[in-house]
Amino acid sequence: MRDIPTLQADDTAIRLAGLSKRFAAGGTLALSDVSLEVRSGEIFGIVGRSGAGKSTLVRTVNLLERPDTGAVTVLGQDLLGLDPEALRAARRGIGMVFQHFNLHHRRTVAENIAFPLEIAGIPRAERVARVAELLPLVGLEAKRDAYPAQLSGGQKQRVGIARALASRPRILLCDEATSALDPETTAEILALIRDLRDRLQLTVLLITHEMAVVKSICDRVAVMEAGRVIEQGPVLEVFTRPRQETTRRFVAEVIGHGVPAGTLARLPAPRPGEARRLVQVLFLGPHSTRAVISEASRDFGINLDIAAGRIDSIAGEPFGVMALAAYGPAEALEAAFAWMRALGLVIEEIAA
C-alpha cells in the first residue's frame, strides 16, 4: 500500500476548485462552479435541500463522481491527474460512510469491517488484528460475530464507520450518515464521529439536510442550492449572521427565530409621544443580556420588554435569540440599538 502524504495541522485537506457536473446533455447542472476548501482536522458540513447537489459534490472527493470541469485536490494530490493504481491508493486515504450503511447481510460485523482490507489484498492475520483495534473504537466488541440483521440502526452505522476507518484514512466522508436514525441515536453517532476526529486526527466532510447536525458537530459549513455553494463560513457566523434567505430558513429551523404566535399582538401600544420598535436580538459569547438590557434601559431612558427568548449553544459558544419590545423616544431607541450593535449584538427589526 502506498504511503498517504502527511500534512501539517493547518493545511488544506480537501480543495475543490471550480467543479461543474451535468449528468445529461442539456440537463441541469448538478454542480455549478463549486469551490471550497476543507482544512485538515476540521468537521466541515454541507447542508442543502434534496437535489441541491450535496451527494454529487461529496462523491467528487474520492472521484466516485468525476466532475466535467474543475480540480479535486486531496491531501495535496490532484486526483484527476492520477493513474488508476495511484487513484486506488489515494482512495484508501478517504473513508466513506453512507446513509443506509451498505452492509453485507451475509457477513458478520467483523467480516464487514474487514471487507475493504480484503479487497486491498491485506493478509488475513493483519485484517484480524485491524478489526480487533476497530471494534472497541466504535464500541462493538460484543457484536463481533453478529450479523447486520441482529443490529440496531445505530450499531449498523458503527459498523459502517469502522469499515470506513479500516484502511486508516485521513479523511472521512459522511453522506447523510445519520438521516436514517432516530434523534437519540443520531446524537450518539455524531458524538462518535467527533470523538474519532479528535482521537484519529481525521478531517471530516459531511453532508446533511439537517441544520441541527451542522449545529451539533461542524466547525464550518457550506450551504448548497441548485448546484451552487451560496454561503459558507464558520458555523457560529453562519448561524448568527446568515446572509442568504435559504440559509436563514435553515437556521430558523434549528434556533427558532421569531416569536410565538400572538405574542406581538398582546404587546401594549406605545404611549403618546413615544415610539415602539420590535426587534430580534442575537447575542453571542460573553454578553450578559440582562446587564445589556438594564444598562440600555437606564442610560437611554427607554423601556425594554423581553417578548420571547432562548439561550442555546453553537460550536460550544453560548448563543441567544430574543425578541424585544422597546418603548421610548424614537431617537433614544435608535441610539440604544446603535450602542447594542457596537457591543456586537445583531439586531433586526421584526414586523409587528
Q: Which residues bind ligand ATP (CB under 6 A)?
A: 23, 28, 30, 48, 50-56, 209
Are 16 and 61 contacting, i.e. CB atoms less than 8 angstroms apart? yes
Least Å distance, CB 29 to ligand ATP, is 8
Q: Specify the residue, 181 or 322, whose C-beta has the smaller distance to ligand ATP.
A: 181
Residue type, 196: L
Measure the CA–CA gap between 58 and 30, rounded to whole angstroms.
12
Measure the CA–CA gap between 168 and 139, rounded to whole angstroms.
17
Residue type, 60: T
Least Å distance, CB 20 to ligand ATP, is 12
Least Å distance, CB 273 to ligand ATP, is 54
Least Å distance, CB 30 to ligand ATP, is 3
Q: Specify the residue, 47 or 90, whose C-beta has the smaller distance to ligand ATP.
A: 47
Q: Specify the residue, 22 or 88, whose C-beta has the smaller distance to ligand ATP.
A: 22
Least Å distance, CB 338 to ligand ATP, is 41
Least Å distance, CB 54 to ligand ATP, is 4
Q: Specify the residue, 4 or 30, whose C-beta has the smaller distance to ligand ATP.
A: 30
Q: Which three cell numbers stand for residue 216?
A: 451539533
Q: Specify the residue, 21 or 163, whose C-beta has the smaller distance to ligand ATP.
A: 21
Measure the CA–CA gap between 119 and 230, rounded to whole angstroms.
39
Residue 230 CB partners (closer than 8 Å, separation 6+): 223, 224, 244, 246, 247
Q: Specify the residue, 54 or 91, whose C-beta has the smaller distance to ligand ATP.
A: 54
Question: Quick check: helix, strand or coil at residue 165?
Answer: helix
Residue 234's CB is within 10 A of a number of other CB atoms, namely 15
Are 230 and 48 contacting, i.e. CB atoms less than 8 angstroms apart? no
Q: For residue 312, list its beta bridge partners.
A: 319
Q: Report which DSSP code applies to 67.
A: -
Task: Let me know if 258 is exposed, middle or buried by CB neighbors in 10 A (0-12, 13-18, 19+).
Answer: middle
Are 173 and 62 contacting, i.e. CB atoms less than 8 angstroms apart? yes
Q: Specify the residue, 51 or 139, whose C-beta has the smaller distance to ligand ATP.
A: 51
Q: For residue 276, list its beta bridge partners.
A: 327
Least Å distance, CB 41 to ligand ATP, is 25
Q: Specify the residue, 30 or 134, whose C-beta has the smaller distance to ligand ATP.
A: 30
The dihedral sign for the CA sequence 271, 274, 280, 285: negative
Least Å distance, CB 230 to ligand ATP, is 13
